[in-house]
Structure 1
Amino acid sequence: MGLFKKKSVTLMLEQSKKKQLEKTLGAFDLTLLGIGAVIGTGVLVLTGLVAARDAGPAVILSFMLAAIVCGFAALCYAEFASTIPASGSVYTYAYATIGEFAAHTMGWTLLSVYVLTTSAVANGWSAYFNNFLGGFGLAIPKEFVTIPSQGGTVNLPAICITLAITWLLSRGTKESKKVNNFMVLVKLVVIGLFIVVGAFYVKPENWTPFMPYGLEGVIAGGAAVFFAFLGFDALSTSAEEVKNPQRDLPIGIISSLVICTIIYVAVCLVMTGMVPYTELNVAEAMAYVLHSVGQDAVAGVIAVGAIIGIMAVIFAYVYASTRILFAMSRDGLLPAMFSKTNASGVPTFSTWITGAGSAFIAGFVDLKELANLANIGALLTFAVIGLAVILFRKSHPDLQRGFRVPFVPVLPIISVACCVFLMVNLPGTTWLYFSVWVLLGVIVYFGYSRKHSVLQENNEIPLKKAN
């Protein structure tokens, strides 16, 4: 059946060798890109919200739970990225192992994950930016930083920053990666400052009760903060722009996740130790706890760092979503305009359509809703990549791999089970909205993609083995 027609690995490798996208990224750039994508709204915004609403001081356990699940998925990503260095992430991997319909569904899901994450991050950036301006008596009127459902008109700063980052990306990867690396380094310095200063104000009694909402709260918190770890997967969308993908991609994926997990745990310990967890139900939690202990100057520095650092997250996700559009368009599953590049090798139309869509959503939709929708999509893609690794080992056992997942199929099966478990713990409304998006994707596939698929037109026979 055409729905299960697979794209040959040989063709994917040939496409990745074509220099349609300029190869400018190394292991260091990838690690910073991963940290830039992961460390952002999760540590600067969600840590406080989840501690207050779901887990209390046990939010560190929520982060550890999410990190373990992400770690399993990261190993699967590393194997695929080092074996098939082609743009598209899970979309590409599903195309090689499960078939075209599954690949289209994964690509469609990834688009929602990246666009919604961009919007949610821009939403969080707006809170820090307005708080920073407020320190100078220049706060933006509430109606222009608040979405309609919360009594405002539009979150204007969120729209503006998304469009500004989109413009930067449209200039080219080589130029924009320098700005991204700077933003990530600033963010790491600021987080380090928070940990060092905040540690002097930690009161162990604030960690009691440690688990006020019980194990159920920790698990619910794990499902919520899963959003905070999204980003390392975005690295696999950059495969065709990496100088040595077989070596550098596994390094970038795994190292960025490990570094980010350590940072999250340290920040959560300090934050919940500085003030009672019940006070952390604010969007700019790091700045808030520093103000509460009289460290206004440091809080100001943190706010500036957050403003700069969160922009790196927006950068990473707009970048990733454009590469998904590029890959799907190149395969005929979306119109050709999405894969056209300019003289600098940038898919300009995809970049601007993604940025504009993300900006619109950021201006009008609640951050918590955006985070949950991004979570369910990401969990689904992580489950699929675990399944894909098992299938790929069977279909291409002799293919050279730069990295191999240990204990296959046991570890990928555990990864799939963990993802499904966390998905079940997400709200019913999230499932409803996500189902509507998937249904829309199915309509697009049967209405356009299947008819224009390059694979279907060429009637390509998938290879059982590629060397």
Structure 2
Amino acid sequence: MSDEELAKDLGLLSALTIGIGTMIGAGIFVLPGVAASTAGPIVVVSFVIGGLIAMVNALSVSELGTAMPKAGGGYYYVNRALGPLFGSIAGLGDWMGLAFASAFYSIGFGQYLTTLLPIPDILFLSDIQVGALIAGTVFVGVNYIGAKETGGVQTVIVTILLSILALFAIQGWLSFDVGTLLSDGGLTPLGYGAILPGTALIFVSFLGYAKIATVAEELKNPGRNLPIAVIGSVAIVTVVYAVLVSILLGVVPWPELSQTAPLTQATQVAFPGGLTGVAVTVVTLGALLATASSANASILASARINFAMGRDRIVTNWLNEIHPSYATPYRSIVLTGAMIIVFIAMLGQDIEVLAKAASVLHLVVYALMNAALIVFRETDPDYDPVFTVPLYPFTPILGMVLSIGLLAFVGQRELFLSAVFIVVAFGWYFGYARNRADGQGLLGKHILDRGGDLPSPVVDAAASVAPDGTTEDMETPTTMVALSNPRTEHSLVALAAALAKHDSGQLLAVHVIQVPNQTPLAAAANQRERISEMSGQLLANARTDAEELGVPIETRTILSHEGLDEVFDAARSHDVDRLIMGHRGTRLAGSRAEGTLDELMHNLPCDVLVLDERGFNPSEILLPTAGGHSSDLSAEVARALQQTVDARVSILHVTDNPPTGQNFIEGWATDHGLDEAELLVETGDVETAIGRAATDRTLVIVGATERGLLSRIIGGSLTLSVLDDLETTVLLAERPHDRSLLERLLG
């Protein structure tokens, strides 16, 4: 079964509401009473400090997310920068942290549910825990069968919640009493030293913004929308928390504020008698909606993290098996759900433990993410974020210090839990993941590459934790094949497999199913049986062909409103080395693989090879060259086919000066490792010479022209004018390179 992907369809508003909706549930509806009992009225400052710490981390999340909009969020960044050991800690920490957070949200749901319905105690479980278990089971079941909060639904939920909270804020402000706020000891009855323990407790209220990064692959224009959504959601929620918690404490004295349903209690006090019942019901329903939304979003995010870890072999990909009917990673969801149920049953009578455990694990991940940002900046020349944190490196260093420093205030039980978790994560890596993970982190590679310049203990430590067989860079070259037609599938895969085998690489076969703009992608995804039948056989044939040729292959089906553009986006997102696609269905601009507008606005994502539909027989190759930029790629392809399938290569150069042409072609062949090729020097018309030389050949490989768009529109194109008339199969090769707009227009 091939993996399926959705194109980028989440807009800025949807991303913003994902963060706000996840955070707003805990901070207002669940924690104010518990937090006030810990810190007193000064707990408002605890919320503000929590927001500031979250904001510093949000800046780093935004930079990493715009550089690498990948599923998995924090795990992906840490694993790539620091290596699979720290990737194991980050991935398992994020996963367990989300399970604790989901249990916490479920308890919050149970607290408000018991104010509406009588729920009995069962055995050692309180009525709140029973309600939470019911809720948690429902949330897991909803994710199991595949219903999820889309961006549109989340926007509606957040709009409803903010409307309810705005009404409460208005009426609560009318009932606000400074005397109530300052009663029982003033602002700091428990001392200023209670502020940071309060922050450690309520930090779980700020975890939602990081979930935006886990859906970064689905964001439209992530370079712009992701930082706005991440930073904006933290800023909005911090203000909302500060205002509403202040109002709560000015309506109900802090020692009396309910630790189970604080907003319901404050609503009963703030609203006049005739409206009390309606207001309480509305607020309670809002609390149920908020906590349900937060729990569901956390379970959904955990499945994405498991997918990313399975892809990197940190955990078994068995967890990511897709349900045949519901098309969900049901095993991952069931395992996460089982942990949530256990946490509710064993720890649900002390909500502080759940809140702090979730905070601790996420704080560890945030510290590692800040470290990852520094590693990317210092070691990766290809790291190119659209958004960059201000005051680098001060900002990520501050993020690490604040995240680790806050751990000192969470309490001994939670610190013990975090220590046990880190030990377990270390054990998991050395006992399972190390023998399976196939990628070295940038930090480890940087240390090992400079072993002679660094202290030997540092080098020895990096080597001792490196994945087996990856003390050097073992990144596998990837050739992507864009498939659309069963008639051309075998030829494209055969070409791709020959090149991948030469590079000791792997294949990625992608089938882009273009959906009309009038049809929402989510609606198209619901037609899963038809899509699977349409795409499954095509990709199954590709897998069979690749396996027969001895080349590893992965497959993807992508739903998109675009065609060629989505192929290029997929090549970029999967970081492939070359892209192979068929001639029919591509919008060739002159003799280039880009469309006309693409050529003006963008560069190709990688090396691109376009094969026509006349089959693939590389036994006799003609390689015309005039020494252009993309002719280097043509030579690489010809050399690879020569070495893997014993192709006979003939190089053709057309010139008005044969002696000079002979010197050129001999030097060019030597420079490109084609000394055994037959060399042909012709005079006269280029198109005629190519047509004549191609007569006895089975494949013509041509590098894309360097001529600009307007010059080719006016003067025609060599590639289209002569090669379309050949009976020989044509392979167009183009290597990306930077060109100014003037060069693109005029050549």
Fold shared, TM-score > 0.5 on shorter chain: yes
Alignment identity in percent?
27
Instruction: Name the CA distance, whole Å, in 1 between partners of 2:291 and 2:474.
Output: 42
Matched, 1:167 2:141: yes
Distance 1:173 1:327, change over 3 A: farther
Find 1:323's aligned residue among 304, 307, 329. Answer: 304
Summarize the Cα distance change of 1:170–1:405 in structure 2 as closer, same or farther, 3 Å threshold.
same
For residue 352 of structure 1, the aligned residue among 334, 352, 356 is 334
Which consecutive residues of structure 2, in runs of 5 or more, have no partner in the other structure? 440-466, 476-574, 576-604, 606-747
State the shift of 1:281 in Å: 4.1
Letter in 1 for 2:15: L
Matched, 1:226 2:208: no
Other structure's SS at 2:295 match: helix
Which secondary structure state, in structure 2, belongs to the residue aligned with residue 406 of structure 1?
coil
Distance (whole Å) between structure 1 residues aligned to residue 142 and residue 468 of structure 2: 37
Distance in 2 separating the partners of 1:166 and 1:188: 26
Deviations 1:356-381 (A, max 9, x none): 32133223323111111111111111
1:363-382 residue pairs with structure 2 within 5 A? 363-366=345-348, 367-382=351-366
Contact kept? 1:160, 1:359, Cα under 8 Å: no
1:251 is aligned to 228
Q: 2:77 & 2:411 partners in 1: Cα distance?
A: 29
- Distance in 2, Cα, partners of 1:346 & 1:299: 37
Alignment partner, residue 61 of structure 1: 45
Higher helix proportion, which one?
1
Please give the alpha-carbon distance, in whole angstroms, between the structure 1 residues aligned to 2:428 and 2:58: 30
Q: Which residue of 1 aligns with 2:314?
A: 333
Question: Which of 262, 267, 282 lines up with 1:285 in the alignment?
Answer: 262
The Cα shift of 1:338 comes to 2.1
CA distance in 2, matches of 1:454, 1:228: 36
Name the structure 2 match of 1:263: 240
- Report the TM-score, using the length of structure 2 for normalisation: 0.56
Deviation at 1:63, TM superposition (A): 0.4
Distance 1:233 1:399, change over 3 A: same
Structure 2 residue corresponding to 1:242, chosen from 219, 223, 239: 219
One-letter identity of the residue aligned with 1:229: F
**2:129 corresponds to which residue?**
155
1:200-211 alignment, distance < 5 Å: 200-208=174-182, 209-211=186-188
Query: Alpha carbons of 1:412 and 1:194: their partners in 2 closer, same or farther (altered >3 Å)?
Result: same
Change (3 A) 1:171 1:335: same
Write out aligned runs for 1:419-434 (5 A). 419-434=403-418
Aligned-partner residue type, residue 348 of structure 1: Y
2:16 aligned partner: 31
How far apart, in 2, do the equivalents of 1:43 and 1:58 lie? 16
Give the residue type in structure 1 aligned to 2:393.
P
Would the aligned equivalents of 1:162 and 1:355 in 2 still touch at CA under 8 Å?
Answer: yes
- Counterpart residue number, 2:473: 461
Give the aligned partner of residue 7 of structure 1. none
Tell me if structure 2 keeps the 8 A contact 1:173–1:346. Answer: no
User: Given the alignment, which residue of 119, 140, 149 partners 2:119?
Assistant: 140
Structure 1 residue 276, shift from structure 2 partner: 1.0
Summarize the alignment of residues 398-417 of structure 1 with structure 2, pairs less than 5 Å apart. Answer: 399-417=383-401
| Contact persistence 1:190–1:302 (CA under 8 A) | yes
Maintained 8 Å contact 1:154/1:364 = no
Task: Give the conservation status (yes or no) of the 8 Å contact 2:203–2:359.
Answer: yes
Structure that is richer in strand per residue: 2
Q: Distance in 1 between matches of 2:196 and 2:403?
A: 12
TM-score with structure 1 length normalisation?
0.87
Q: In the aligned structure 1, how far is the partner of 2:156 from the partner of 2:432? A: 41
Range 451-460 or range 219-228, more displaced: 451-460
In the TM superposition, 1:59-208 aligns within 5 A as: 59-133=43-117, 139-141=118-120, 143-144=121-122, 148=124, 152=126, 155-172=129-146, 176-208=150-182
- Answer whether contact 1:27 1:249 (CA < 8 A) is retained: yes
SS in 2 for 1:212: coil
Counterpart residue identity of residue 371, structure 1:
A
**How has the CA–CA distance of structure 1 residues 166 and 237 changed in structure 2, closer, same or farther, with 3 Å as cutoff?**
same
Q: What is the CA deviation profile of residues 151-197 of structure 1, one whole-angstrom value per residue up to 9, with x for unaligned ones?
A: 74882221222222233334447765444333322222221121111
The secondary structure found in structure 1 opposite 2:387 is: coil
Moved more, 161-170 or 226-235: 161-170
Aligned pairs, how many?
A: 437
C-alpha distance in structure 1 between counterparts of 2:239 and 2:474, whole Å: 42
Matched-pair contact (CA < 8 Å) for 2:47–2:242 = yes
Q: Which has the higher mean CA deviation after the structures are superposed, 397-406 or 427-436?
A: 397-406
Please state if 1:302 is matched with 2:283.
yes
Consecutive unaligned residues of structure 1, counting only runs of 5 or more, are 1-17, 134-138
* 1:191 aligned counterpart, secondary structure: helix
Structure number with greater CO (CA < 8 Å, separation at least 6) is 1
